[in-house]
Structure 1
């Protein structure tokens, strides 16, 4: 099941090692030149307020203890790198015996990412500075603007939008814009 599409997969890890596994995968992806196949690694967490000894304290809880999400293109090499990362016990949805796992369905990962406040859209927009885009979501919805900065890693860009006869600079997420053809 070799796929050349980016998809999200779930890794099973030793409980309590999720952040270490995330760091290990990111490090291995870079050192083994797999950056074109392994994109994002996410440990789903939520912040909660706990009262201890009469004092309120914010704590970070794992949404899915023992699991890590990874966005990757499933090839033999990328599968091998992730599967053999220290702390990873396997992929969820793999039947063992060397079989590759099934990816999460788009609606599943969109729901998880949305609950974490992350970008949902699988963004394959190829933008260049100076290009004109249309804002499709947010306060500037329906307006057009010119791209002035692109941050691929954070999936954000800066856009100059003309409003009320003046140019206004704003920062937008990739999923808030569409390319104008």
Structure 2
């Protein structure tokens, strides 16, 4: 029975590993042991991006492989030089159907990933990491937790200027 397994690969080589695996599966004639191979990614919208959106990986450095976990199939996957290991060690542990359904729904955009909850305090200093003011340091003036927005006072040409930013555009 084919189950889903997580494979750790070198970050940035997920698509290359997928292409190589598909080629090797075809060469060895083991198509019946393998199902889908997924590199989980989703279309994310960036606030100041020139292009509207782009695919970003949900789990950089990891792939999902649907396969029968017999020694031949495991060896075929791990013999790739860019594959580090299966999650679970020597005997790979399959994912539950609930976990797979959640990942697939994230890929389709049906589930919104929760943003990291960070408590921002008025008067604390933050560094702007995204947008036209990236690299500036400012003081938090207002916090809107409902809309996940901050008003940060930034010194521009010697004057304190309020700048509206999202929680994801600053770091403490």
Settle same-fold status: TM greater than 0.5: yes
Q: Compute the RMSD of aligned alpha carbons.
A: 1.8
2:6 corresponds, among 2, 6, 10, to 10
1:71 corresponds, among 42, 59, 66, to 66
Contact 2:42–2:108 (8 Å) recurs in 1: no
Question: Structure 1 pair 63/86, CA: closer, same or farther in 2 (3 Å)?
Answer: same
Q: Which has the higher Rg, Structure 1 or Structure 2?
A: 2
| Inter-partner Cα distance in structure 1 for 2:47 and 2:72 | 47
Deviation at 1:57, TM superposition (A): 3.3
Deviation at 1:68, TM superposition (A): 0.4
Deviation at 1:56, TM superposition (A): 4.1
Deviation at 1:25, TM superposition (A): 1.0
How many equivalent pairs are there? 109
Deviation at 1:55, TM superposition (A): 2.9
Q: TM-score, normalised by structure 2?
A: 0.59
| Inter-partner Cα distance in structure 2 for 1:58 and 1:68 | 22
2:18 alignment partner in structure 1: 22
Q: TM-score, normalised by structure 1?
A: 0.56
1:81 corresponds, among 53, 72, 76, to 76
- Tell me which protein shows more helix as a share of its residues: 2
In the alignment, structure 1 segments of 5+ residues that lack a partner are 119-181
| Inter-partner Cα distance in structure 1 for 2:105 and 2:24 | 27
1:38 alignment partner in structure 2: 34
1:115 alignment partner in structure 2: 106
Contact 1:46–1:116 (8 Å) recurs in 2: yes
